[in-house]
Every structure is written in C-alpha cells, then in structure tokens.
Chain A
C-alpha cells in the first residue's frame, strides 16, 4: 500500500461518490481536500443517496468559503495547455474538471496532492503524462485512514490498477499523446 498522502485532489465523480457512500466526512477528517474550481462551480451539483431515494444538493462553494476544503482554479490558458498534451480525440473524452485537476498537478501548486478519480480515461491521462504516482482511487485512500466501506468497482483498487497498466502501455506506445 502507498504511503498516506497529505492532500487529495478529487474529480466530480469521486466527490459525488464520497457523498453518496457517506465517506466524505472521513476524507475531510483525514486529508486536506482540494477541489478543482470547475468541480466546485460547474460539475458537482447534487448527489443521490445510496438507496437512490433522495437528491441532496451540494454547496461546495460554502465549504471553500468556510475553509473546510480548498479550491484550486486554473486559467483557461492552463486548461488549453493540458489539452494540447494529448491528441484531440483523447482530450475530448476527459471532462473539464479532470483536465483542470491535471493542470493543478502540472502547475506544482499542490505538490503533495494526489488526484483521486474512478475514470479510466483520467487514470490513463495521468499515467501517460508519467504522473501515475500522483493519482489513486477512493478505496485506497479510505483504507489508508482505516476506513473500510464498499466502493463501486470504478473506485476500487483493482480497477485503478488495471487502468494504470493500460495507461502505461499507452505511454510506451505514445497512444493518444500529441
């Protein structure tokens, strides 16, 4: 198991899953949580409870204002710089929050942050940029703080490892890189 990171940088999918599975508080207690501005202001709007019964609206901006979580915002040009690292057909599959998260990793603004995602293409992307050690999955970081909650497969260690291997092959073949 990897050492426990100090900060987590989450994409929208990871945020909503953390809320719906009731592990968001555990993440906030054990880590410094950083969110890309696009996730805060444009992507993670509400989640559905695990039983599928209720829709709960989020106010992530309020959490940022209260300094409960941190927000990192790229400029439009920084977003473009990330996209330019990949072929268009690849970069168009990444969502904007993920692209901004990668911009954050590349900027050096959050040197200790680990990017948490369950998206195959995002895991490929960070691996293809040779930053695979700067990413992880929800299951891993929850276990690192002693929290064992069943996660959907996309957020599992097994899926993450599989996607990392795929991303590694793409890096070698330069498949999808500009």
Chain B
C-alpha cells in the first residue's frame, strides 16, 4: 500500500521527467498554487483524491502509477527527429494510450496473435542493399502483396496488433516507435503531409523489425550513437523497397512506356496506384535505372506536374487522422458493453467528456451475450 511519501515521490519524479515546473503543474491541474504542489511533493500533507486525479490528468499518466499500484511505463521510445520538451509530454501520452489499448485487448479477451517478426541487422555495418533485402523479406513474411501500401496498415494493426496513434507533434518530430509490454506501437505526426503517411509507416516498421538488433548496439551510457543518421537512411531505403517492390514497379512502368517515353501523368498515376508520394515513386524508378536523376529533379520542381499530382490525390489522404484508431474505439465500446469498464472510464479512454460518450444500447444484452455453435 502506498504512503504519503511514495505518492509525493511519484508525483515529483514524473513532473521532473516531463520537465514541468511546479507552477506549471499547479496551473495545468487547476489545484491552486505552486505552494500546494510543493507541499504535496514534500509529503507535508495528504493528497486528496480529487487532487491526485487532476495531477494524473495533467501529467497524462494513470492514477495507479502515482499510487504505486502500477509501474510507470519506462522503456526506450525511438523518435525520428528532435527531442523538444513537447516530446516528453507526447511520449507520456503515447505510452499511456498504448497501455490502454493493451488493456482493452485483455478485457475483450482477444486471442493471442503472432508476434511482429524481427530481423538481425547491425546498424554500424549494414548497407542499403541489406535494408533492401530486409524489405523484400518483410514484404513476403507480412504477405503485403504487390501493392503493399494498401495492406500495410491493416496488416500491422489487425494481424500483428501494432498500435498506431496520431498526435500533433509540431513541425519538429515526425514519428516515434516503441516495443513494450503492450506490444509494438507507432506514433505518427498528425501534421505530416498525407502523402507521406504510408512511407512513414514503412519507415517506422523498419525500426520495429530491427528493434532488438539496434538495442543491442546502443551505447550503455545512454549517449547517442554516431550511426543514428545512417539508421534513418537505412529505414528510408527499407520503406522505399517495401512499398515499391521492384518486380511490380518494373512491370507497371514498362507497360506505360511508349516509344521510349513515359507520360508525366502516367508517372503520377503510378504513384497513386502504389499509394505513395510521387517523389517516392520517381526516386524508386531512378534507383531502378529506369529514369535519370535529372529528369526526376526536373519533374519535382515543375509546377504543372505538381498540380497534376495534387489533383490526383485521393480524398481519404486529406482526411485528418483522429488520435485514436478505429480498432481502439471499437474495443473500448465492446469493453463497456461487457461490463469491464465504467462509462466515465470509457469516456477517459475515448478522450471525450462523459456527456460526449455516444449512446450505447445495453438493453438487448441477448445480442451481446449470444453465441452460436462453431463448426
């Protein structure tokens, strides 16, 4: 059982880890002054239950962590770019959402799934050819088909239960990945251009499938290794190869060549077919030796080409992603119907207020509890 000092320490250490001042925490939690937080953190007085709840919300961590009933989630999160203060708050929220997702899966009694595979790769010595080979293997094992972008996210989410969230990470960061007790998870930047999303998924997948291998080579003192930039380049090479498999791209490209030339609009259509950005497609065919580098550079700065590119983009690319995936919301509702979670807790998980929880029909529980014999 926790005591006053345990709770005090938990609040202070979490606040400091997120680089928040006592004044800021007091304001964000709405519980009076810096003095109140100071008294609480020094164990001078008891923490009231409602104060604890507000502090936990301000810090984006569960009440149970502050009570010492649940360990704080502490694991390596790999950020693609930057380590702005905002990242620590975003990281805390990301890990808490992933933890909740795993809890929902437990409450809904989902059967176990195959783990997302991992491959060995030494980041110090790996080449772009190694990354490309890895992409080919991954594409086959994950069974992504000849148009991998279309199946990548559903495969990750449904088959391997990779938890994918979105958050406004500003202009600094673009994504983060983690492999935790809750499984693999990805945080995407909701501000990222829509045509980069699939590419970013593939890039982050590289980090997930090489997680342990990279972990093994991280400096023990926590310092940043000198191969980090190279690792990102390997991830880019992986993404390109994964989403644009050579055979499929070659076949489609060749089919569109007429008298030694390929139309600009055909190139745009090819990018749409593979559901990647036009830039990704162009550089892929350059790497395949099917287009000159100067040609690609010229197209990418051509206004007419850029306009045609934009006009061809699917409406769904422009729909801003919500922070929580549909699967998360479905499981949360199911958990409520199964009586695993209260309505206010459901609201917390859905990140809405209690009054905004959609009406859920509980009356006909015969539907929820019904089952039929399986063949």
Give me the interface of A with B, judged by CB distance under 8 Å: 11-13, 16, 20, 36-38, 40-48, 55, 73-81, 83-84, 88-89, 91-98, 100, 103, 118-122, 124, 153-154, 159, 162-163, 166
Give me the interface of B with A, judged by CB distance under 8 Å: 1-4, 7, 46-54, 57, 62-64, 66-70, 103, 106-107, 335, 339-345, 348, 353-356, 361-363, 365
Q: Which residues of B contact A91 (CB under 8 A)?
A: 64
Report the 10 A-B pairs with minimum CB-CB distance, sorted nearest first. A120-B339, A95-B344, A119-B342, A93-B341, A76-B47, A74-B49, A37-B50, A153-B363, A41-B50, A95-B345
Interface of A is mostly: helix
Q: How far is the CB of B103 from chain A (nearest CB, A)?
A: 6
- Residue contact A73 to B353, C-beta cutoff 8 Å: no
Interface of B is mostly: helix
Q: Which residues of B contact A84 (CB under 8 A)?
A: 1, 69
Which residue from A48, A77, A78, A162 sits with its C-beta under 8 Å from B355? A48
Inter-chain CA distance A97–B106, complex, in Å, is: 23
6 residue pairs bridging A and B, Cβ less than 8 Å apart = A45-B353, A77-B2, A80-B1, A88-B69, A98-B342, A121-B341
Inter-chain CA distance A142–B343, complex, in Å, is: 21
Which residue from B3, B66, B342, B353 sits with its C-beta under 8 Å from A95? B342
Known A13-B344, A43-B354; contact A96-B63, beta-carbon cutoff 8 A: yes
- Residue contact B64 to A83, C-beta cutoff 8 Å: yes
- Residue contact A43 to B1, C-beta cutoff 8 Å: no
Q: How far is the CB of B151 from chain A (nearest CB, A)?
A: 33
- Given A12-B344, A76-B47, output 10 extra A-B contacts at Cβ < 8 Å: A13-B342, A46-B355, A76-B51, A88-B70, A93-B107, A93-B345, A96-B344, A100-B50, A121-B339, A121-B340
- Residue contact A76 to B67, C-beta cutoff 8 Å: yes
Q: How far is the CB of A38 from chain B (nearest CB, A)?
A: 5
